[in-house]
Every structure is written in structure tokens, then in C-alpha cells.
Chains A and B, each alone.
Chain A
Amino acid sequence: QTTGLVGLAVAENPHERLRILYTKILGVLQNIPKDAAYRKYTEQIVNERFDLVKKETDVQKLQDKLNCGQIEEVIVQAENELSLARKMVQWKPWEPLLEEPPSDQWRWPI
């Protein structure tokens, strides 16, 4: 059995891998302030997916319920989300705007 995608090997035990990744993401998210929109929305997404992974043991049905392509793609997406969360802790994008642009900067037509 294959994923059908070039370069993505079939993941044995995807539930375990997803469980580890989602717990790690939630752990990283604890480091950012509670009122940040990024933390709110990401926790919502991760908790939804985590509940689906915990409830559904069949791989095929889990793929259909998540509706996000193959399980291996979901794993890649979770890894991306983890690295993004770690970078967000450093960048802190929830602070107010850095600098206003000059007043004619975004006016179109000039």
C-alpha cells in the first residue's frame, strides 16, 4: 500500500504520531499569552483534530472525517504547525502594529 504521493512514505501508526505532535503543539502554545488570537484559533483547530484522532481508530474513516487529504499529509501539516508555533513564540505577532505606513503609500490610483 502506498500514499500515491511522491516522496511521502506510508506512516505506520499514524494515531500515535499525530497524538505526539498535537500534544507538543499544545505545549508550545502555552508559552504565548492567553488572549492572542493565534493561540485561540490554533488551540481550537488542534483540539478538534485531536478529538477526531482519539475517537476514530480506522485510518480510512479518519481521513474522510478530517477531509484534509491523506493521513501522511495531515502528519506533515501538523509538523509544519509545530514549527510555526515555535517561531511565533519568538516573533510575537500579537503585539500592536509596528509602524504606520506613509499616508500616500497604499493609495491607488496615485
Chain B
Amino acid sequence: TVRPKNEVQQKQLCDFGEYVAEILPKYIQQVQVTCFNELELLIHPDGIIPVLTFLRDHTNAQFKSLADLTAVDVPSRQYRFEIVYNLLSLRFNSRIRVKTYTDELTPVDSAVPVHKAANWYEREVWDMYGVFFANHPDLRRILTDYGFEGHPFRKDFPLSGYVEV
């Protein structure tokens, strides 16, 4: 069985993506809509806070809820980490994904001033990948053991780790 195509929703998402790209051309590099009707905005890393505040405060895009904040490690790229924010709008019942990139040493602006929920998610991304968030209120390890060295979710970290348990 194949998921039925929802043309109306696809068209609405395409229109909204073009709307946002028209308003924020300084930071948005690309907009895409997946075949499963998911809208993705690809951002320059300096534009995280402007784009997230715009999506939270603007009347046509009240994405008040940060559903997820993760990172993806693609070691072959120049900027290996891809930070992904998933936002949900309760007023319009729609979701949007915002993606940025960074390498191992460049800090990224923290999303905590915009969404309080980003606090622990950013701690997890720091702990697991090593992406430093500037202006984070309390950036420390959250899932690994107290004296743990290394960032486990990176692709070059071995599955059974470096220390024997």
C-alpha cells in the first residue's frame, strides 16, 4: 500500500515555504517539501535566532512549540554537523523543520532565549556530538557518565566505546 497523496496540503506547504523565503532572504538558503508533506527550511547558522523568533511570533506562522532539537553527523561534509529544529504550530496545526550546519569548532547560537524547551535538547547535542551553543545558560553533560571523554553519537566513535566496562 502507498500513502495517498495530499495535494492540497502539499500546495499549502509550498506556498507557505515561498512566503517565508520571501520574507527572510538573508538567512534562508533553500526550502524543500518532502513527498510526505514535510516543509524544511535550510538556514545559515547566523540566522537561527531571527528565523526561530519569526516563526514563533509572526501572525501567519505561530510555531510556538519546539517539538525536537537534534543533530545529524555527516563526516564527509565540510560542516559535518546538521542541527535540526522541529517546530509545531498549535493554531494552524502544522509542522516545520529548520536545519542549520556547523563544524566541530564553530559555536552556534543557543535557541533557549526563543524556546525554553531547547535547554536540555542543546545539552544533549553538546554531550553527544560536541556542538557548542553560545549563550546557553547551563551547558554541561546530560546523558554520559561524569568523567566520560568523547562524544558518543559521532560517526567516528566506535560502538563499544574506548573504555572497557
Contact = CB atoms under 8 A, between A and B. Distances in A.
B17 interface: no
B23 A97 contact: no
A102 B25 contact: no
A37 B101 CA distance: 26
A87 B44 contact: no
B24 A93 contact: yes
Interface residues of B, number: 31
Nearest to A85: B57
Determine the main DSSP class of A at the interface with B.
loop
A97 B78 contact: no
Nearest to B20: A37
A46 to B, nearest CB: 8
Interface string A84-110: 100110011111111111101110001
B74 interface: yes
A105 B78 CA distance: 8
Interface string B10-27: 000000000100111111
A38 B26 CA distance: 12
A97 B77 contact: no
Contact of A84 (B26, B53, B78, B91): B53
B50 A87 contact: yes
Nearest to B30: A106
Contacts of B99: 106
Contact of B29 (A37, A69, A100): A100
Interface of B: 19, 22-30, 42, 44, 46-47, 50, 53-54, 56-60, 62, 74, 76-79, 91, 99, 101
